[in-house]
Amino acid sequence: VIVQRPRDNGLKFKGFDLGVSARWLQEQRKKSLARARVGLNPREAALIERIKRLKKESGTHSPSAWTLAQRIPELRLKVDACFLSNPYATQLFLMHFHREVVRPRKLRALLELYPSQNRVIAAKLGRVLELNPESIFVGNGAAEIIQAILHRFTHEKILVNLPTFSPYYEFTRPDTQAVYNVLRKEDNFCFNPDAYLDLVRRERPDTVVLINPNNPDGGYIPYVVMRGLLEELRSVKNVIVDESFIHFACEGNGYLYRSLADQVGRLPNLTVVKSMSKDFGVAGIRAGYAVMAPDRVRTLLDNGFLWNSSGLAEYFFDLYSRPDFQAQYERERIRFIRNSRRFFAALAKIDGLHIYPTHANFALAELSGGLSADELVCRLLIRRGIYTRTCDDKKGLEAGKFVRIAARNRPENAYIIRSLRRMIG
């Protein structure tokens, strides 16, 4: 539950006292609910217009739940299933933050002082990641890193899979051409390495991007396949692997995941990008890093990025470096993965909804019934307070058909399932 507004007592409308009884209003509400099952009432239609306008202002991203609640306070936002985070990890962070920063009155220092320089934070990260600290670049979120590397190291042509996380083609320089490898829904958005390598040989991009697991479909390329691919891609100047969702993708038993970051020492063309926003549920503090050849880190640092982190992000990275936190986080990660799998299985059972296989903490759903993706997302939002994302703006996905739904905690997941059943089941 992210935003709670006091229940309105039904006696005021936009601040004007209507002088009517709560009971009368309740009856009206019941009547309007009955009407709403058929179509949209005028109030809902007006709300939807405002939501759409806000969405338009956000480009190919969604307005944050925070923006939504501030700009359209009439919405009673209950569940944010648009943002792709582990809510248990957020809770864990908050517990430590309260105990170690807020209660001992250390918040002031975090806000008043400069954070450590990029290199100092990278050194701390190097120890916990067991990587050469000179190969680590710390970013104000992964988005900043993506922009930095695309501007600095990508020149003529970038190859990205579709559908994708849009900054990989939007943040390029104006003279960079984007080419696409389209993952087809008929193949469950599965990645085909042979077809991909053919395309690389044909197009000769200087940069290729592999997001693993992929956003927005959750498709996953197994570790051994990735290792083979990296060998085949040795002649490409920049190979970017985005592992922002890797903590949710386990192979084999024991919920283990494997990063490719330790391959950077061997492969100077490889950059592994890692956002901390999703798996740790801390998008607001803007923490991310990338692992790349030390001379590339030097090139970026020569251009700035001195204190690009923040006091909060540095506190997070310190926490992240501690064994006690790591052990607690592992428990929350596994708990969340277990719950998410149950949630996706329940989603898959809803008539009118097709769920594509996912290794991430979200699922791409295709609608087959009467409602369009847009209508479903708006109705979930205004009638149930559930925020999801249409994929109408995602290149490579047929408009009107796809919705991305993130897993949340168990009660929230149950509420999403109930609401979807009621709306389309």
Ligand X SMILES: *Cc1c(COP(=O)(O)O)cnc(C)c1O
Block residue for tokens 């759903």: 365
Q: Name the residue nearer to ligand X (CB basis): 344 or 415.
A: 344
Cα end-to-end span (Å), the chain: 24
Q: How far is the CB of 308 from ligand X (least distance, A)?
A: 12
CB-based contact 149:292 (threshold 8 Å): yes
Determine if 118 is a binding residue for ligand X (CB under 6 A). no
Q: How far is the CB of 291 from ligand X (least distance, A)?
A: 14
Q: 207-211 and 177-182: which strand pairing?
A: unpaired
User: Which amino acid, residue 46?
Assistant: A
Q: Name the residue nearer to ligand X (CB basis): 65 or 143.
A: 143
CB-based contact 296:271 (threshold 8 Å): yes
Determine if 242 is a binding residue for ligand X (CB under 6 A). yes
Mark 8-47 with x for binding to ligand X (rule: CB under 6 A) and - for no binding. Answer: ----------------------------------------
Q: Name the residue nearer to ligand X (CB basis): 68 or 283.
A: 283
Distance CA 404, CA 153 (A): 32
Sign, CA torsion 235/236/238/243: negative
Q: How far is the CB of 337 from ligand X (least distance, A)?
A: 17
Distance CA 80, CA 228 (A): 38
Q: Name the residue nearer to ligand X (CB basis): 62 or 413.
A: 62
Distance CA 372, CA 320 (A): 42
Q: Name the residue nearer to ligand X (CB basis): 125 or 382.
A: 125
Contacting ligand X within 259-298 (CB under 6 A): 275, 277-278, 283, 288
Contacting ligand X within 176-235 (CB under 6 A): 211, 215
Q: Name the residue nearer to ligand X (CB basis): 141 or 396.
A: 141
Q: How far is the CB of 275 from ligand X (least distance, A)?
A: 3
Contacting ligand X within 135-154 (CB under 6 A): 141-143
Residues making up the chain, counted from first to last: 425
Q: How far is the CB of 132 from ligand X (least distance, A)?
A: 22
Q: Name the residue nearer to ligand X (CB basis): 88 or 165.
A: 165
Q: What SS3 state is found at 209? A: strand
Q: How far is the CB of 396 from ligand X (least distance, A)?
A: 15
Cα radius of gyration rounded to whole Å, the chain? 23
Q: What is the DSSP string of 292-347?
A: --HHHHHHHHHTS-SS-S-HHHHHHHHHHT-HHHHHHHHHHHHHHHHHHHHHHHHH
Q: How far is the CB of 165 from ligand X (least distance, A)?
A: 4
Q: How far is the CB of 244 from ligand X (least distance, A)?
A: 4
Q: How far is the CB of 27 from ligand X (least distance, A)?
A: 45
Burial class of 371 by CB neighbour count within 10 A (0 to 12, 13 to 18, 19+): middle
Contacts with ligand X: how many residues (CB under 6 A)? 13
Q: How far is the CB of 59 from ligand X (least distance, A)?
A: 14
Contacting ligand X within 315-354 (CB under 6 A): none
Q: Name the residue nearer to ligand X (CB basis): 165 or 402.
A: 165
- Residue in 116, 244, 339, 419 binding ligand X, rule: CB under 6 A: 244
Q: What SS3 state is found at 288? A: strand
Q: Name the residue nearer to ligand X (CB basis): 217 or 242.
A: 242
Alpha helices (runs of H) in 85-192, residue ranges in sequence order: 87-97, 107-112, 118-129, 142-153, 167-170
* CA angle, 249 then 217 then 343, to 5°: 65
Q: Name the residue nearer to ligand X (CB basis): 10 or 66.
A: 66
Block residue for tokens 């309105």: 8
**Token pair of 207 as six digits:** 């940069």
| CA–centroid distance for 355 within its chain | 18
Residues in contact with ligand X by CB under 6 A are 141-143, 165, 211, 215, 242, 244, 275, 277-278, 283, 288
